[in-house]
Structure 1
Amino acid sequence: MDFTIVNTVIPAIQADLHASVEQSQWIISIFLMALCASMVVAGRLADLHGRRLLLYLGMAIFGLSSLGAGLAGSIEWLIPFRFIQGVSCAALYTASAAIVSNAFPEGERGRAIGILFGVNGIGLAIGPVVGGMLVSGFGWRSVFLVNIPLILLSFAICLRGVHESRSSDESEKVDWLGLVLLVISVSGLMLGITQGIKWGWTSSQTLSVFGVAVILLVIFVRVERVKPSPLIHVDLFFNRGFIVASIATFSLAFFYCAAFFLMPMYLKMIGHLDGFMIGTLLLPTTAVMALASPVVGRITDHIGPRPLLMAGFLLLALSAALQARFENSLSFAYIITAFAAMGLGWACILGPSTVAALASVPERLGGVAMGASWTLHNLGGAVGLSIATIIYQVFARNWLVHAVHARVPLSPDTAGAIVADPLSAAARLSTSGMSPEAVEQVVGQFFVHGYQASMWMLLAICLLASGTIGLCIRARSRT
């Protein structure tokens, strides 16, 4: 729930703490960076020192950091608490999945993980709705403070029901050098991806960040190859089963982070809907994902994860194809169909990709596999969001420049600034002498043009992922 609930209150935080747009963006970016950089480390610590122990530590730190975020008096204090929230969430994600995997035999694991991610989907679904209700009734701080009673309830449940598990190899230790190299390099990659649009993809700042990150990743791989107890077993990435799981989880996050960024904007820009209606129309995606995940889990136990992964990406491709046909007017039945197809595809990939990752390694490396898999998942989300944003801006800007050139000559820079902030585009274009009707039509058209281009890109990604997974399955069957 915390993953989606915070997005709804960023405007309120910005107004109350007098934060700039750039500072407000870091509320999300720093959380994602911390989550991504900490996944593998959390998984390794869980394997070595106990998955239940790490779960409890993650819950406690998440509760305390939520309290700090809720009481923060400035944006400079809020952002560090969001970083700590991201680190603790990495522990919660990896430890919970590893605990569930360890608690069930292999024949029931798919169903159990399906239920786990079904509950995850419920949290994603209700996050925007709960966030809107809380900020309206109690202010933005309640969005963070509500985590505290939820954490206390979680402790009450887990203390009686969760049993400890860890790696059986007591000779293994934490690779602290690898930890430092991995955290810095992954953080650098995430920083470059999230800030590349602002800095410029070919700027010295962006290239320097990427260069340092890549060099440190190369050093990390060389160090891990010779370590007796590596943080990540590099052989994982030569394991065909883990490769399939990695392609699936990376591509899934690529899709839904990009789509979930654009879908609410479409409903706002074209339908002029309020927050409650936008949240309601997004429910077919998250609610279908939540309801379908347990069913998908049971099917996974019978036929394995890979056919479901291929089916999931075909469903996501269907959703993208339908959304690529969205027009400058709303058709609720068409929108709900497209969004529901996305939710069903999401369910067919999220749980089965986790099962595939865990099944590809021995039980003692379950936490490491989950950490590596979720790191790739979050990287996929950051990459997908950045690429979709670029494609939207390029196609929308080019259409705008050519469409209004005869009436209002616009430079590419001016058009780029307009499409980058579509909510204020009408106000900026209205000063050019165009009629209100013409302005509304132009704004809708440039946004839809960019939206459609991004969806065609996501369609291509889904087909590529499905085809690659199919080739891996065929190659394995031959061997």
Structure 2
Amino acid sequence: MSSAIKTHSRWLALGGISIASFLGCIDFTIVNTAIPAIQTELNASIDQSQWVVTMFVMALCSFMVAAGRLADVYGRRGALYTGMLVFALASLGAGLSTSIGMLIAWRFVQGLACAVLYTTSANLVADAFAPRQRGMALGLLFAANGLGLAAGPVAGGLLVAAWGWRSVFLLNVPLIVLAFALCLGQLQASRPPATTQKLDIPGLLLLMLGIPGLLLLISHAGEWGWGSVQTLLLAGGTAVLLGLFIRIELRSEQPLVNLGIFTNRRFIAASMATFCLAFFYCAAFFLMPLYLGLIRGQDSAGIGWMLLPTTLVMAAVSPLAGRLVDRYTTTPVLIAGLLFLALSALIQSRFTLNSDLSTVLLAFACMGIGWGCMLGPSTMAALSSVPEQLGAVAMGTSWTLHNLGGALGVTIATALYTSVTSSAGVWTQVVFLSGFQAAMGLLVGVSLAGGLAVLALSRRSGMTAPAQTWSGK
């Protein structure tokens, strides 16, 4: 399809898609800084306010695969435009919310829309560009993602201070309209030639119930107690839902998730890489602000500025990583990224009460390098591992595993930190550092294990080869 799209149209479309993807990414980080103002104005408790963040991630994770399947069935261009429209409406609804419940509901819808944007954006960019330019184009797309993550902490504070928390959501509306205008007329229809495809509604419903149940279990089982009635009931219900989902998918003629994709070693390697990446950065981004605030005495604005090098370096490295993939394939770039993540965690595991600022910034920059080396290439590896007609499903499945990795990373790292620090009895800075160092040691191990797994799977399957001919049947 790329040969039929004029050069200027490709770049206009890339600009529009990148803006939409940027908005989806900035919503991950910008809302956290607005939570105190939301809590005050809407008279919400801390527990209620946290659902503003949790509901977004839950919707995103549970709908990711379904969004990919919808794009495959009805066309990626139409799915992208629908996602943009729903995102605009959800952002407007969130910005005009008069109660915490209304805001949480709109954040759920916003997460559903972002799932569509994420699963269609990379596929559309890959379709629009020739193979020799595809890595660079995807690198630029993920650089926009990095800028969204980078701008979030600082932009959130500035917007809330200038115009209040509602501006965090309302600003999305004119920007997504701009993204739509840039894409309109520049993208070709990408509907598959077959017209008999249909959506697996039972599978969709079971997945959208089962994944939130799993996330709730991961998030709250430690608080409730692993042997509590709530945990056991939730675990049992989630197991039943996911078990029924697997049974239906194995019997369905047109399943939502063709489970045969998990026999594809190239896809497993790509998913392992993105899982480990999310495990790392979600855990690290939870712990790093605590270190900066509790040990180094930074205020909220200072923490935001200190974290900026990580995401700015990631955004700068992403285009370079794309060019390296074009030249050397995805495997060495992914392994290099995991090694940089391991190096970052290793340096952070040796932080002390008096660590030099240069050491802290070096560790944060190494994380940015590793992140930039992995985000785009892991997506490219997942897309190239399956036939083109299954690209959106592969993308959705890969990103679902990415989000699950993030949820597990935060939960396990926090549990390890709590276990280490609670045994000391009284909290001190030294006690905090002991828990922080233990959690960073865990991230070293996860990164190295992920690198070894990617290397082993790549050698056995040949990730340098063209896309496999597996049809998903």
TM-score of the superposition, structure 1-length normalised?
0.89
1:293 corresponds in structure 2 to 318
Structure of larger gyration radius = 1
Is 1:386 matched up with 2:408? no
- The answer (yes or no) to whether the contact 2:270–2:382 under 8 Å persists in 1 is yes
1:426 corresponds in structure 2 to none
Residue 22 of structure 1 deviates from its aligned partner by: 1.1
2:457 corresponds in structure 1 to 472
Aligned counterpart for 1:225 among listed residues 250, 275, 288: 250
Output aligned runs, 1:208-357, within 5 Å. Answer: 208-357=233-382
Measure the CA separation in 2 of the matches of 1:329 and 1:200.
Answer: 37
2:117 alignment partner AA: L
Is 1:453 matched up with 2:443? no
SS in 2 for 1:280: helix
- The answer (yes or no) to whether the contact 1:168–1:364 under 8 Å persists in 2 is no
2:77 corresponds in structure 1 to 52
Measure the CA separation in 1 of the matches of 2:339 and 2:188.
Answer: 38
Note the residue ranges of structure 2 that are not aligned, 5 or more in a row. 1-25, 466-473
Measure the CA separation in 2 of the matches of 1:202 and 1:107.
Answer: 55
2:413 alignment partner AA: A
Identity of aligned residues (%): 53
- The answer (yes or no) to whether the contact 1:44–1:368 under 8 Å persists in 2 is yes
Out of 192-201 and 274-283, give the one that drifted further. Answer: 192-201
2:455 alignment partner AA: G
Residue 170 of structure 1 deviates from its aligned partner by: 2.0
- The answer (yes or no) to whether the contact 2:65–2:400 under 8 Å persists in 1 is yes
Is 1:131 matched up with 2:156? yes
- The answer (yes or no) to whether the contact 1:58–1:88 under 8 Å persists in 2 is yes
Deviations 1:57-114 (A, max 9, x none): 1111111111111111111111111111100000010011111122223343222211
- The answer (yes or no) to whether the contact 2:92–2:173 under 8 Å persists in 1 is yes
Deviations 1:373-410 (A, max 9, x none): 111111111111111111111111113x2xx5xxxxxx
Residue 475 of structure 1 deviates from its aligned partner by: 2.1
2:458 alignment partner AA: I
SS in 2 for 1:60: helix
Measure the CA separation in 1 of the matches of 2:203 and 2:41.
Answer: 41
SS in 2 for 1:162: coil
- The answer (yes or no) to whether the contact 1:66–1:148 under 8 Å persists in 2 is yes
- Name the Cα RMSD after superposition: 1.5
Measure the CA separation in 2 of the matches of 1:62 and 1:91.
Answer: 10
1:140 corresponds in structure 2 to 165
Count, aligned residues: 439
Note the residue ranges of structure 1 that are not aligned, 5 or more in a row. 405-441
1:414 corresponds in structure 2 to none
Measure the CA separation in 2 of the matches of 1:70 and 1:330.
Answer: 41
- The answer (yes or no) to whether the contact 2:266–2:462 under 8 Å persists in 1 is no
Residue 182 of structure 1 deviates from its aligned partner by: 1.2
1:444 alignment partner AA: Q
Is 1:185 matched up with 2:213? no
Residue 330 of structure 1 deviates from its aligned partner by: 4.6
Measure the CA separation in 2 of the matches of 1:217 and 1:107.
Answer: 41
Is 1:368 matched up with 2:393? yes
- The answer (yes or no) to whether the contact 2:143–2:315 under 8 Å persists in 1 is yes
Measure the CA separation in 2 of the matches of 1:16 and 1:445.
Answer: 37
Is 1:91 matched up with 2:76? no
Is 1:31 matched up with 2:31? no
Measure the CA separation in 2 of the matches of 1:23 and 1:296.
Answer: 40
- The answer (yes or no) to whether the contact 2:266–2:461 under 8 Å persists in 1 is no
1:463 corresponds in structure 2 to 448
Residue 202 of structure 1 deviates from its aligned partner by: 2.9
2:39 corresponds in structure 1 to 14
Deviations 1:286-319 (A, max 9, x none): 0011011011001101111111111111100000
Out of 30-39 and 446-455, give the one that drifted further. Answer: 446-455
2:239 alignment partner AA: V
